[in-house]
Chain A
Amino acid sequence: MKPAIKPAHQFIVCHECDLVCADVPVATGEAASCPRCRAILYRNGTASIDVALALAITSVILLLLLNSFPLLSLKVQQVTRDTTLFHAALAMWDDGMHILSLLVIITTMLAPALQISVAVYLLYVIRFGDARLALGAPLRALQTLRPWSMVEIFMLGLLVSLVKLQHMADIVIGPALWSCASLIFFTAALTSVLTPRNIWLWAHAAKASKAATGVSHV
Chain B
Amino acid sequence: MSEQEYRHIPATGLAGQTGASAGLITCDICEALCCTHDEAATHCPVCGASLHLRHKDSLTKSLAYLVAAAILYIPANLLPVMQTNTIFGTQDDTIMSGVLVLLYTGSWPLALLVFFASIVVPLLKLFSISLLLYTCWKKSAWNPLQRTQLFRMVEAVGRWSMLDVYVVTVLVALVQFKSLAAVHPGGGALAFGAVVVLTMLSAQSFDSRLIWVAKTHE
Contact = CB atoms under 8 A, between A and B. Distances in A.
A163 B107 contact: yes
B163 interface: yes
B102 A164 contact: yes
Given A3-B17, A136-B49, A21 B29 contact: no
A18 B209 contact: yes
A77 B33 CA distance: 64
B4 A12 contact: no
Nearest to A158: B170
B163 A74 contact: no
26 contacts: A3-B17, A5-B37, A11-B24, A12-B11, A15-B31, A17-B212, A19-B13, A20-B14, A23-B11, A30-B8, A31-B6, A40-B8, A72-B174, A83-B173, A99-B193, A135-B47, A140-B48, A156-B166, A157-B163, A160-B163, A161-B170, A164-B101, A168-B181, A192-B2, A196-B29, A196-B31
Interface residues of A, number: 91
B22 A3 contact: yes
A41 B10 CA distance: 9
B105 A167 contact: yes
Interface of A: 2-3, 5, 8-9, 11-24, 26, 29-43, 45-46, 55, 71-72, 74, 76-77, 79, 81-83, 87-92, 95, 97, 99-100, 103-104, 107-108, 134-137, 139-140, 143, 147, 150, 153-154, 156-158, 160-161, 163-165, 167-168, 185, 188-189, 192, 195-197, 199-200
Interface residues of B, number: 86
Nearest to A86: B173
Given A17-B211, A30-B6, A100 B173 contact: no
